[in-house]
Amino acid sequence: MMVSIDDFKVKKDIEIEWGDMDAFQHVNNTRYFKYFENVRVHYGEMIGLRRHMEQSGIGPILAWTDCRFIRPVTFPDTITVGARTLSVQGSEMKIDYAVYSRARGEIAAVGASIGVYYDYRNLKRVDIPEDIISEIEKIEGRKAPRTHTM
């Protein structure tokens, strides 16, 4: 099943820079993980993660991520990177990503990640707080499924 960038409530536009390209004349595969990080941080700001972390010492840590490259992206271009929470389960939150190339007019890559909610003071996993889940659900406009699969 192919996704559309319109399937994502949280989006961030990013201009491709010349330095993002590699010797094969397309955006280097490692840059996509940076794009995912940019939209993930943007998403976190929208749900109040930084404020929550400063107050509690509890927040997410990236546990796993992947990317499926569909079409090459080249300079010049502006991409729109989308993120959506697919599910939450205990201490884990699964996020999907899509990278839309404006120059190509299509999805160039899709990806996913699992973030683990972590107590940085006590160095252990903790369940995602309900107030954070509520903020996620407000943004997504739906209940967050409480299980996920790889």
CATH of the domain at 115: 3.10.129.10
What is this structure's pTM?
A: 0.93
Q: CA Rg, the chain, in Å?
A: 16
**Tens-digit pLDDT profile for residues 15-31:** 999 999 999 999 999 99
Pairwise CA distance, residues 56 & 4, whole Å: 36
Residue at 19 is within a domain: yes
Residue at 97 is within a domain: yes
Residues of the chain with pLDDT > 70, as a percent, come to 97
Burial of 8 (0-12, 13-18, 19+ CB in 10 A): buried
Tokens 């796993």 correspond to 64
**Tens-digit pLDDT profile for residues 83-132:** 999 999 999 999 999 999 999 999 999 999 999 999 999 999 999 999 99
pLDDT band at residue 144, thresholds of 50, 70 and 90? confident
Query: Domain tally for the chain?
Result: 1
Which residues, including other chains, have CB under 8 Å from residue 9's CB and lie 6 or more apart?
84, 139, 140, 141
Name the residue range of residue 114's domain. Answer: 5-140
Residue at 30 is within a domain: yes
Separation in Å, CA 132 to CA 51, 59, 60, 122, 141: 11, 10, 11, 20, 14
pLDDT for 2: 82
pLDDT for 148: 59
Nearest in space to 96 (alpha carbons), one of 137, 117, 50, 65: 65
Separation in Å, CA 120 to CA 1, 45, 47, 83: 37, 19, 19, 25
Pairwise CA distance, residues 120 & 50, whole Å: 13
pLDDT for 97: 98
